[in-house]
Structure 1
């Protein structure tokens, strides 16, 4: 490993000294081609944890062989399953563990299916990516969602598009299925609290409600899991930076997407003031930070094909069908 890496690094830098210990190699170098060295090190990030330090007038490149810690994924999955089960059980009149388990399976399916879409297509393009990391959190839905980590550079804009668009499309299919099933499940609590959480329903949810023949007032927690999936789909498809919508737009229109990234957060903030919804204000300020970071460039910048452009436009249209101006409204009585 050391000799092969040294030969490659010597194409861009003078190597003075090499240290090796366990799975880590350190190269003390003086760069002669900064751009070439940077691009080469970027190619190593799929297999190594790369660190570059500057000491005593020379650069030290530290390469540590990356190892996936699958046990972390398992622990987070179990913790999130417990968290969503407990939160789901509390959605019933009396603490209902079976009902909580039903909700937990539904929400984990929706979130997990979204992330598996990314995972499958990243693997198809030969990109290194982790298994999903679920995030437990004792909130209304019991989780902050799930993420996967990509390592290394993006091969081209087609790969960027496929990986970016697959998550929302997989996720919305799961959301539609879970919503339909949930709306078919009876849920009519006899106890009415002083404060009721009203959900703003997006057009896609209303369409599924008609297809399911739903005409009730309260929805089963399983249907709520489907609603969450639609809400998350819209948030993810906001075309900014490292969000799925940012990836898709970057693949569709190239570096011109950077201009869009700067405008969208302002639109969300204005929307928050107009609708008096703190959610859009919060998401607007969050996306400001996404917009401040330039999107990583794919290795090959050639445009995507017309078929992908059509799929991208339809995906953003689906995202709009998941939008509701006031997602949560608390009412008394």
Structure 2
């Protein structure tokens, strides 16, 4: 029996290591593709290009690894049955844009018993990863290459010199003009850390700077995890701070606000009547489908779905310049249908104490700093 257990443990550890190595290779290929602005499925990759991709994969996977081991060691502290991190490789062999991974997760097979356990396990990952992300961003913004670096990626820009942004994006086909968004943390580094503002890359070209891309993606995933809904890390934190009854009242309101922002701008009175008659019912059904597990009662769910649509329609009609971010609708679907909006109650519901309450407020601040209202923009 002992030999069988050892064999199973070896096979499990081999799986974790294999997934990490595959993910490392995938993120290195992906990082090199972003850095050099080309698909290696078409051009092939040199050793130097692959090694250059490590400047993205090492900091990016380093942040993800610290995040997951923050959860892991906290769970071990509470003697919970927990797995090592599972890394999820996702590279398309150069046939399409990717970052080489869909992230990582740990599996906790024990039931968490107290609000303190939920809080500590939930907060340890994003806060640990955030500290490493700060170091990556600091290095990235204090070691920016010369502005002419972008000509190595886009030699066609050289004809316009450093004023390329005035001309380079005029003829990009609709739907192919991609740029990274921003967040408060990025804006802080741009304003107070960069010594020469002329070195800050154009938002369209930020993806070619590996440390900035790794730090930005780390902020994006940190903010995703800290959304205070369901069994996301932020959901664990908010539940632990407020308790089951208060959390259960607040969290559906937060989810409605999230849905409202995500779909804001899709419909208004300025649209063609025919389009409204076709697409508005489909969208309302989508909202209904996302919300049905939150409210259970079908009529109440329908009222909420129609209410969200109406609010979005009115706001966009009277304020045409207002836009949400429709990419968040996919994440709302994931929350509503898979993760769930509500948080299960702990077996023992003692308060977590004022020190953890302060840490919870700090986690909220981290969420605000890292959250990008429009993380990836395609025009």
TM-score (norm 1): 0.74
Count of aligned residue pairs for this structure pair: 269
Partner of 2:244: 255
1:219-298, aligned counterparts within 5 Å?
219=206, 220-256=209-245, 257-274=247-264, 275-290=323-338, 292=340, 294-298=342-346
1:144-191: CA deviations, max 9, x gaps?
Answer: 101001121213111111110111101111111111212224273211
- Kept in 1, the 8 Å contact 2:63–2:218? The answer is yes
1:79-98, aligned counterparts within 5 Å?
79-93=22-36, 96-98=49-51
Distance 1:291 1:115, change over 3 A: closer
C-alpha deviation, 1:330, in angstroms? 2.9
- Kept in 2, the 8 Å contact 1:156–1:298? The answer is yes
Partner of 1:128: 81
Distance 1:112 1:271, change over 3 A: same
- Kept in 1, the 8 Å contact 2:229–2:341? The answer is no
Q: Does 1:75 align with 2:64?
A: no
Q: Does 1:307 align with 2:374?
A: no
Q: Distance in 1 between matches of 2:14 and 2:68?
A: 18
Q: Distance in 1 between matches of 2:124 and 2:341?
A: 23
1:120-199, aligned counterparts within 5 Å?
120-138=73-91, 140-183=98-141, 184-186=143-145, 188-190=149-151, 191=154, 192=157, 194=172, 195-199=176-180
Q: Distance in 2 between matches of 1:97 and 1:185?
A: 20
- Kept in 1, the 8 Å contact 2:252–2:341? The answer is no
Q: Distance in 2 between matches of 1:67 and 1:253?
A: 39
Runs of 4+ in 1 over 6 A off after TM superposition: none
Q: Which moved more, 1:136-145 or 1:301-310?
A: 136-145
**SS of aligned partner of 1:128:** coil
Partner of 2:183: 202
- Kept in 1, the 8 Å contact 2:89–2:101? The answer is yes
C-alpha deviation, 1:253, in angstroms? 1.2
Distance 1:294 1:202, change over 3 A: closer
Distance 1:152 1:90, change over 3 A: same
TM-score (norm 2): 0.66
1:89-119: CA deviations, max 9, x gaps?
Answer: 1012365212211111011011111111111
Structure 2: stretches of 5+ with no match in the other structure = 3-7, 39-44, 92-96, 158-167, 265-322
Q: Whose strand fraction is larger, Structure 1's or Structure 2's?
A: 1
Partner of 2:162: none
**SS of aligned partner of 2:104:** strand
**SS of aligned partner of 2:243:** helix
